[in-house]
Amino acid sequence: MSSPDVVEAGSQKAKGASCWAVGCGCVFLPVLLVAGVLALVIPGILIPPSCGGPGAAVPGKSTAQILPTAVPGLTTVQLLNARDIVNVGYDMRSQGVSKRDQTIAIDTAYTESSLINNPGGDRDSAGLFQQRPSQGWGTYKQVMDPTYAATQFYNHLLKVPDRTNMDPGQAAQAVQRSAYPDRYTKNWNLANLIFNAVANTHGCTTGAQVGAVGEDGWARPAPGPITALFGSRINPVTHTYEALHAGTDLAAGGCNAPIDAAYPGVIVTVGFDSAGDGQIIIDHGTLDGHNVQTRYLHEWNPSLMASVGQQVVAGQQIGQVGSSGISTGCHLHFGVYIDGQPVDPVPFMQQRGINLNDRS
């Protein structure tokens, strides 16, 4: 939902550009020429290419050689274990595993084992998730296999009723049934940082899934369905006529679900607008002769993962879904601005291969 001081929509349209599309490799080099296309790659961030599907090889570098971005206080071994958990989740997307589910899995494993494949624990607990063979989680050898353990966790998480609307810590507790039910909540922010550090090492992705980059280099900021369209309306909170709802509202997976950057750029605003809406604004520079910005509203804490001057890539998580400001509940208000004027995000993103109404 937009703040009340928006301006009328403009008519210009910008076209998505060049290299953040098929063929861009996962590399560390600042500049790379791939098939005649100049790709700007932000140093220290691994760019997920849109080619060949999950796990596709990067030319000259195997997926196993692509190391995660460093996270203060964590070792490479811990990050590689987190990457294994994320990779299992990617492979289970067709079963309904989401980025939020993957982050819950990281949160749980960090809380249980500090992301160390521990051979022992309380009673007969073992492995990344400290699963107990005596409680039906599998044999000792199985629960010590990170792939098996993560698969078991996701299988149980998918069976939790209404997990998408639950607090992440509560969802983790519903699976683990710990004697200390509040223990998972305290590591949620760290789990998001870890997810961002390891997610882009998975390999190539295709389509418009959450976090995946389409062929035109754009990513869906959050899942649908669309709950409010761009244009004039009766404001559901104030019940007054609103000349312009300057964006599109998405259900976005519920409270605390991930919000992703729609396109590479620089974060220029992090904070709260005049209506109290937590907001993040990304400037994507000049596309087809026009300045393009995207706006993400209603975060409870917009500075949790975003900071002014931060460079981001398409599909990178920048925040979490909230309900701050003028809002009827947790959702994402997504706005697109051309030369400072709001335009309808639905056709804008559709022209770039992204269906904002897609719930997957």
Contact residues for 37 (Cβ-Cβ < 8 A; gap 6+): 18, 19, 21, 23, 24
Q: What is the mean pLDDT of residues 192-213?
A: 59
292, 339: one domain: yes
Q: What is the mean pLDDT of residues 235-255?
A: 89
Q: Are 315 and 48 in contact (CB under 8 A)?
A: yes
72, 193: one domain: yes
156 pLDDT higher than 60: yes
Residue 44 lies in a domain: no
Cα four-point dihedral sign 318, 26, 223, 294: positive
In the prediction, which pLDDT does 55 show? 31
Q: What is the mean pLDDT of residues 16-45?
A: 29
For the stretch 66-70, contacts whose Cβ atoms lie closer than 8 Å and that sit 24 or more positions apart, written own/partner, are 66/26, 66/201, 66/203, 67/201, 68/197, 68/198, 68/201, 69/44, 69/45, 69/196, 69/197, 69/198, 69/200, 70/197
Count of structural domains, the chain: 2
Q: What is the mean pLDDT of residues 118-131?
A: 88
Which tokens in the block code for residue 96? 């309904």
In the prediction, which pLDDT does 247 show? 95
Average pLDDT in the chain: 78
In the prediction, which pLDDT does 270 show? 96
Residue 29 lies in a domain: no
**pLDDT tens digits along 53-84:** 333 333 333 333 355 667 888 888 888 899 99
In the prediction, which pLDDT does 69 show? 65
Which three-class secondary structure string do you get for 200-221? CCCCCCCCCCCCCECCCCCECC
Residue 271 lies in a domain: yes
In the prediction, which pLDDT does 14 show? 33
Closest by CA to 39, choosing from 17, 60, 24, is 24
Q: Which residue has the tokens 């958990």?
A: 85
Q: What is the mean pLDDT of residues 31-58?
A: 29
Query: Quick one: pLDDT band at residue 249, thresholds 50, 70, 90?
Result: very high
What CATH number should be reported for the domain holding residue 295? 2.70.70.10
- Cis-peptide into 59, omega within 30 deg: no
194, 233: one domain: no
322 pLDDT higher than 90: yes
Query: Quick one: pLDDT band at residue 137, thresholds 50, 70, 90?
Result: very high
Residue 332 lies in a domain: yes
Residue 268 lies in a domain: yes
Q: What is the mean pLDDT of residues 122-138?
A: 91
Give the number of other CB atoms < 10 A from CB of residue 21: 21
Closest by CA to 320, choosing from 302, 334, 342, 338, is 302
Residue 24 lies in a domain: no
Interatomic CA distance for residues 297 and 280, integer angstroms: 7
31 pLDDT higher than 70: no
195, 248: one domain: no
Residue 217 lies in a domain: no
Any idea what DSSP says for residue 248?
Answer: E
**Stretch (H or E) spanning 234:** strand 231-234
In the prediction, which pLDDT does 67 show? 55
Residue 56 lies in a domain: no
104, 189: one domain: yes
Query: Quick one: pLDDT band at residue 267, thresholds 50, 70, 90?
Result: very high
In the prediction, which pLDDT does 212 show? 66
3-class SS at 128? Answer: coil
150, 243: one domain: no
What percent of the chain lies above the pLDDT cut of 70?
77
In the prediction, which pLDDT does 239 show? 87
202 pLDDT higher than 70: no
Which tokens in the block code for residue 64? 């196993």
For the chain, the distance separating the N- and C-terminal CA atoms, rounded to the nearest angstrom, is 22
172, 256: one domain: no
335 pLDDT higher than 90: yes
The amino acid at 257: A
Phi and psi at residue 240, to the nearest 5°: -115, 160
Q: Which of 32-46, 137-151, 299-313, 346-360 has the weakest average pLDDT?
A: 32-46
Domain that holds residue 299: 226-350
User: What is the DSSP track for 276-320?
Assistant: --EEEEEEEEEETTEEEEEEEE--S-TTTT--TT-EE-TT-EEEE
By residue count, the chain amounts to 360
